[in-house]
Amino acid sequence: MKIYITLLLSLFVGIQSFAQDAKSQEILDKLSSKIKSQNSFYIEFSANVKNTAVGTDETETGKGWVKGDKYYASYGENTIISNGVKTWTIVKEEKSVYETDADEEDEESINPKKLMTIWESGFKNKYGKETTLGSETVHMIYLYPKNAGSVEYHTIVLYISKDSNELKKVIMKMKDGTNMTYKLTKFETNPTVSDSKFVFDAKKYPGYTIIRD
């Protein structure tokens, strides 16, 4: 009898876990559909990097425009421009510009387009719980990388508004104990933005060294 009860409990837990995963996928699918229905969008966010063990606790603010595969983002003293084919990361402190193919960006790097669609590939997801963020009710969803050995993080936690179906917060948990927390403070749909916004012009950065991968 004890064996049958154990098997029954295991079956129940398995069914419950499947239901939670199905629930998280439904929420993420709706969020993806909402994002993809926009011709363009604009976001403002804060980003905090914290590692208690080494005493790191730094916060920067940023903003970004996304239009199709193109995006422009400013984050602290850095600017990232992508035309969907090439990406330019402009580091003011170094007076350097790093040029890469858009499809070869660092897995740990976060741009506004990736931030708003990060769950779409390369992850298993699991529904955590319904909780509150400030005065807002949100869904907490966990993402786990399918190819965990190739990335420096082990978990990403998403906070999605239950009422507005908008992403509100993302926490990336790194293997070295660092937590990178992104909070969305503004989300504007379909702003008018010229394609010239996503064009890198070297003339605007005199004295900068362009480093091509």
> For residue range 53-103, what is the model confidence (pLDDT) as tens digits?
999 999 999 899 999 889 999 988 899 999 999 999 999 999 999 999 988
Which domain does 153 fall in, by range?
2-212
Which CATH number does the domain housing residue 35 bear? 2.50.20.10
Which band of pLDDT confidence, cut at 50, 70 and 90, is reported for residue 133?
Answer: very high
Question: How many independent structural domains does the chain possess?
Answer: 1
Mean pLDDT value of segment 37-61: 92
Asked if the model's pLDDT at residue 173 lies above 60, the reply is yes
Give residue 109's pLDDT: 57
Structure tokens of 27? 């929420």
Q: Residues 6 or more apart from 181 whose CB is under 8 A from it?
A: 47, 48, 50, 169, 170, 171, 172
Asked if the model's pLDDT at residue 140 lies above 60, the reply is yes
Which band of pLDDT confidence, cut at 50, 70 and 90, is reported for residue 10?
Answer: very low
Mean pLDDT value of segment 174-180: 94
Which band of pLDDT confidence, cut at 50, 70 and 90, is reported for residue 1?
Answer: very low
| 130 Ramachandran zone, left/alpha/beta (phi>0; psi -120 to 50) | beta
Q: Which residue has the higher pLDDT, 186 or 108?
A: 186
Give residue 107's pLDDT: 52
d(CA 205, CA 81): 13
